Structure 1
C-alpha cells in the first residue's frame, strides 16, 4: 500500500476471563492479538470519506461534516458510526481516502470494534485531534452502542486499544480503572488457539441484546424484592447490587433471571481469582478458571451453539490446553484456548478430526488459527 501516507493496525482481541459482564459493569480481562484490521489512508481536504475494502464488496463515500444518516446495514456503517461519535465532541472538516483489510474471517474476535477503533484514530489524525487511548476506547464504544446498535460494554475496545504484548489487561467496567499485569517470569509459555466453528454470525441479530435486558431484569427483581428504589433500566446494573441481596432473593425470581445473575456473580469471583493466578504465574489455575467461565456461559448465561459447545467439550479433554472458552458473545463464532505450544500440532489434528466427525458440513469453513498477545491499536 505504498501510495498511502498513513497505516493503522487495530488488533482483534480475546478475553480469557470476564465473559458477558462488561455491560453489567463487571470485571474483565483480555489480550490484543497479532491479527487484526489494517487501514491505509491519505487525508482529503475536501471533507469526503472514500473507502474500499479488501474483505467486502462495494465502495463507501460520504461527507465527514454532514450529519450521520440512518444505518445502511453495509460495512460502511462502521466508518459512519466513528464519524457520528467523533462529531458529538469535535468539528470534523477533513476526510480520508483509504483501504481497509481484516486478517481473520472469524466471528468472536471483535472485528467490528477493531474496525471502529481504526476509523476513530484515522478521522482524529486527519483533523489534528489528539486523543488519549482511553478516549479512543470510549468514542469507539459509543459508536458501536448508539450507531451500530449493540449494547456492549467497554471490553472489546479496551483490549484493542490498551492491550500490551507482555501483559494481561484487567479492567473494572464500573470505574473504568485498568492496569496491565505483566507476565510472571515463572509462567509457562503459551499461544492462543482460535477454533472457528465455521458458523458466522451477526451479534445485533443474535440474543446478545436480549441477555443484556435479562441481566437488568434480574437486578430490578432484586431491588423490588428488597423494597429498594428502582432506577431507570439504562442505569440499572448487577454490579450495584451486593451478592448477599442475590442470595436472599434468587429463590423468588424466575429461574432464567436467577441464572443470569448467578453467571455475573460467579464470573466476578473467577476474574478476581484469575488475576491472582496470572500475577503468581499459575497458568494451570488461570486456564481452569477460563474453562469454568465457559461452563457458566453454557449453563447460566445460556449461550453457545451446539457447534461451539462441541469444540469446548473436545478442548477440555485434550492435553496441552490450559483452558479456554467461547470467544465474543458465544452465539456461533469461535472458541479460544490457551495452549502449550509444544502440543499445537496434536491439538489441531485431534480437534479438527473430532469436530468434523460431529459436524461434517463445516469441512470447508472450520479453521484453526494460532496467535499471540500483541500491543494495542497503533500507527505503523
Structure 2
C-alpha cells in the first residue's frame, strides 16, 4: 500500500495515518439456482469484475470510525456495538472476529447494488482485511460462513450461503457449481460459444430484504408440511400439489430450480439458455420476486436473436438481469436492447 493508491491516500487524509491492511472481494452474478441456497439447493454463480475494497487500521480508541467513500459518510460506533446504516456490515465482521479495539475502516465499492451481492463483497473484503491484520487462521470457506452470520445476526437478512461463498471462492472466468448443503463445489467452464451479459435494470430493490425473509419463511413452512428437512429432499414435483397456495408455488419453484441447475451441468449453450428462460418464468410466476420493469428487460433480451437465454438474478424486486449471449455479441445486444427499454438500464458485465 502506498499513497499513490487513491484509496490509501484518501484513508490517510481522512484518519491521519496509514492503513495497516487492505483487501478486496468481488460481487457475483448467479446464472442459475435462485432462492434455493437456504433450502440446501444447487447454485451456479460466477464472480463479476467489480469489487468492494476495504482498508483498515487500529486507531487506539474505544470506537470504530467507519467511512464509506460511496456515500461520503463517516459513522462512529462504540467497540462492541453494531450501529446503523452501513455500519452492521462492518461491525458484524469486527464483532465476530473478536475485535476488542477501535478500528478506522475505509470502504469503497464499484459493485452495483441490486442482485450482484454488493453486501457479500463488502463483508468478504472486510473479513479478508481483518484476517490479514490479525493473522486469523480462517480459510476462505470459514470466511464465507462468517459473512453469512453477519447477515443473519447483525444485518437481519436470513440469506443462504451462495453469495458469500461466491464472493470468497468464485472467479470471473468460470462458473462455481455449489451444493449449498454439503458445500461441495466444482469449477466449471461457461457453455462453449457463449458469454455472460449483465444489465442493471435501474430499479432499486425496495422490498428485497422484507420480501426475502417472507419467502424464506414460506418455503420453510412448505418443508414442514411436506415432512422434509429441506425442499432439496423432494424428488417428485407432484408432491407440491398437496400444499395450499402460495406454498405450492413457492415450493414448486425451489424444486424445479434445483432440477434446472443439475440439468445445466450437462447442457450446451442453447439448452442452458432455455433453462435460464424457464428459471425467470418460475421466479416471476411461482416465487413472485420479479418486477414489471425487470420482466420487460428480460423479455427484450429473450427476444434478441443473439441471446440464448435471460433471467432476473439476485433476491429480486428490482435489480439486475443476466443473459447468456453468443460469444462476442454482448456489446451489440446491449446497444440494441437498452434503447428499447423503458427504464434507465446499463451494462455491468462484461
Shared fold per TM-score greater than 0.5:
yes
Q: 1:268 aligns with which of 258, 274, 292?
A: 258
> Is 2:112 aligned against 1:80?
no
Q: Are positions 1:161 and 2:168 aligned together?
A: yes
Residues matched between the structures, number = 335
Secondary structure of the corresponding residue to residue 157 of structure 2: coil
Inter-partner Cα distance in structure 1 for 2:60 and 2:326: 50
Q: Equivalent of 1:208, from 195, 205, 212? A: 212
Do 2:56 and 2:104's aligned partners in 1 also have CA atoms closer than 8 Å?
yes
**Corresponding residue number in structure 1 for 2:324:** 338
Per-residue deviation at 1:298?
A: 1.0
Given candidates 117, 120, 143, the residue that maps to 2:124 is 117
Q: Is 1:247 matched with 2:238? A: yes
2:296 aligned partner: 310
The whole-number CA distance in structure 2 between the counterparts of 1:251 and 1:345 is 43
Unaligned runs of 5+ in 1: 224-229, 231-235, 357-361, 372-380
Q: Secondary structure at the match of 1:16?
A: strand
SS of residue matched to 1:39: strand
Q: Distance in 1 between matches of 2:289 and 2:38?
A: 16
SS at match of 1:330: coil
The DSSP-based 3-state class of the residue aligned with 1:32 is strand
- String of CA shifts for 1:38-77, please: whole Å, max 9, x gaps: 22334445565323211114213335xx4334x52x1122
Tell me how far 1:220 sits from its aligned partner. 1.7
Runs of 4+ in 1 over 6 A off after TM superposition: none
- Counterpart pick for 2:69 among 54, 64, 73: 54
Superposed counterparts of 1:217-228, under 5 Å: 217-223=221-227
- Corresponding position: 1:15 with 2:5: no
- Offset from partner CA, 1:332-372 (integer Å, 9 cap, x none): 1111112235323432222112212xxxxx4xx4322232x
Secondary structure of residue in 1 paired with 2:266: helix
Whole-angstrom CA distance in 2 between matches of 1:140 and 1:167 = 23
Unaligned runs of 5+ in 2: 1-5, 10-18
- List per-residue Cα deviations over 1:251-277 (Å, max 9, x = no partner): 332131111111111111111111122
Instruction: Answer 1 or 2: higher relative contact order, Cα 8 Å, separation at least 6.
Output: 1
Alignment match, 1:227? none
CA contact (8 A) 2:48 2:349 kept: no
Q: Aligned residue for 1:319?
A: 305
Offset from partner CA, 1:268-300 (integer Å, 9 cap, x none): 1111111122xxxx2222222122111111121
Q: State the SS of the aligned residue for 1:302.
A: coil
- When residues 85 and 237 of structure 1 are mapped into structure 2, their CA distance, relative to the original with a 3 A threshold, is farther
TM-score by length of 2: 0.88
Q: Structure 2 CA distance, aligned partners of 1:263 and 1:35?
A: 30
Instruction: Give the conservation status (yes or no) of the 8 Å contact 2:157–2:209.
Output: no
Contact in 1 for aligned 2:205/2:316 (Cα 8 Å) = no
Q: TM-score of the superposition, structure 1-length normalised?
A: 0.81
SS at match of 1:287: helix
Return closer, same or farther for 1:139/1:205 CA change in 2, 3 Å cut-off: closer
2:193 corresponds to: 188
Q: Deviations over 1:280-324 (max 9, x none)?
A: xx2222222122111111121111010111111111101222222
Query: Secondary structure at the residue paired with 1:276?
Result: coil
CA RMSD, 1 decimal? 2.2
Q: Tell me, yes or no, if structure 1 residue 32 matches structure 2 residue 47.
A: yes
